[in-house]
Amino acid sequence: MRRVNVAIAGFGGVGRATANLLLSRRERYAQVYHADVRLVAVCGSRAGLRDPEGLQADQLTTLQEGLSGPDFIAASGADILIEAGPTDFRTGGPGLAYIHSALASGRDTIVISKGALVHSGKKLCALAQKSGAILKLSGAASAALPTVDLVEHSLKGCNVLEVEGILNATTNYLLDAMMTRGVGFDEALREAQQGGFAESDPRNDTEGWDTACKLLILANFGLGAELEMDDLIVDGIQSVTAERIQTWRSEGLVPKLVGSLVHSDGTFRASVGVKTYPLDDAFANVRGKDKAIRITSDAMGETLAIGSGKEPLATAAAALKDLEYILSARLAPAR
């Protein structure tokens, strides 16, 4: 049985869920991959924990101040980094330094936050290629909704012509509430914030940036596009009034915030904005916090997926499928 040490940087809800799910699957890793997977370090922005023999679930409640940063992870002896920090696509966020350091030193890296991938994706890929590290990002590309998976596996060999995605749970929840109750954006948002279903600063979701990040990651990492955020036309749901909602309802249409990608002759055009769908379109029935993607390819026509996993568990599970990919790749018997 081969020892595999994992560290997690970024220890909010998703980082913690990932740690707990990983620890609960240690027996699976031993059986399927003959891997003795240990969680040797975790850290948030200021505090962390380390144990070269492996942390247990009951230790994770209290972190020690000062144990944090890329050097802390490097010194932990981790073979694999899972990065789960907050997303900031304008700067790359705190994850960028962790990911950069790990890839530069040849450490396989599983990225959950979107910021660094949007900000420095090309550079990070080049780093990984140079050092031989594996870079995976299932958790960043809409988590439980299969997106990059569909392109990489289910549509392997096909030419993807078009992608449409309902990629942001908060805006889907808000639009759903607006349609159900016939109210506009401001009122729906106020209610959602009071109920804890939207953040106090919801603009990253409502103005379309979160959708744009996921679309860009899918385009660049799944389809080989080389888009920058400036290439995207990004619109949100903040200007959807009660009046427009009423009109759509009377016309039997359902509005969704959609990321769209069109691929033609090697060129990708991407945008985010509200689109409407008739009631018998599968997109019209993507409810609440569910997400969906529809991919049109030359040989397989339309392939549609809808994901409705509960967060943060679903994102943790998405990141850990990357872990299994890495265990397969690193521990497979040579042919």
In the list 105, 229, 231, 325, the residue contacting a second copy (rule: CB under 8 A) is 325
CB of 68 to a second copy, least distance (A): 28
The Cα 280–Cα 290 span in angstroms is 17
The Cα 302–Cα 280 span in angstroms is 16
Cβ–Cβ < 8 Å for 83, 114: no
CA distances from 121 to 134, 135, 136, 216 (A): 14, 10, 12, 10
Choice between 231 and 311, CB closer to a second copy: 311
Where b means 16+ CB within 10 Å and e means fewer, 235-261 reads: ebbeebebebbeebeeeebbbbbbbbb
CB of 127 to a second copy, least distance (A): 18
Which window, 165-173, 191-199, 262-270, 321-329, contacts a second copy (CB under 8 A)?
Answer: 321-329
* Window 296-315: residues binding a second copy (CB under 8 A): 299-310, 313-314
Cβ–Cβ < 8 Å for 221, 147: no
CB of 253 to a second copy, least distance (A): 15
The helix/strand count (H/E) of the chain reads as 13, 13
Q: Between 26-33 and 13-24, two packed helices, what is the crossing angle to 10 degrees?
A: 50
Which window, 3-11, 208-216, 239-247, 276-284, contacts a second copy (CB under 8 A)?
Answer: 276-284
In the list 31, 61, 153, 264, the residue contacting a second copy (rule: CB under 8 A) is 153
In the list 45, 86, 104, 149, the residue contacting a second copy (rule: CB under 8 A) is 149
Choice between 88 and 176, CB closer to a second copy: 176
Start-to-end Cα distance in the chain: 19
Nearest to 248 by CA among 215, 284, 282: 284
Check binding of 266 to a second copy (CB under 8 A). Answer: no
Choice between 242 and 331, CB closer to a second copy: 331
Check binding of 65 to a second copy (CB under 8 A). Answer: no
167: number of Cβ within 10 Å:
28
Draw the binding track, 15-54, toward a second copy (x: CB under 8 A; -: no contact): ------x---x--x--------------------------
Check binding of 335 to a second copy (CB under 8 A). Answer: yes
Choice between 149 and 235, CB closer to a second copy: 149
Residue ranges that bind a second copy, judged by CB under 8 A: 21, 25, 28, 144-146, 149-150, 152-158, 279-282, 285, 287, 299-310, 313-314, 316-318, 320-321, 323-325, 329-330, 334-335
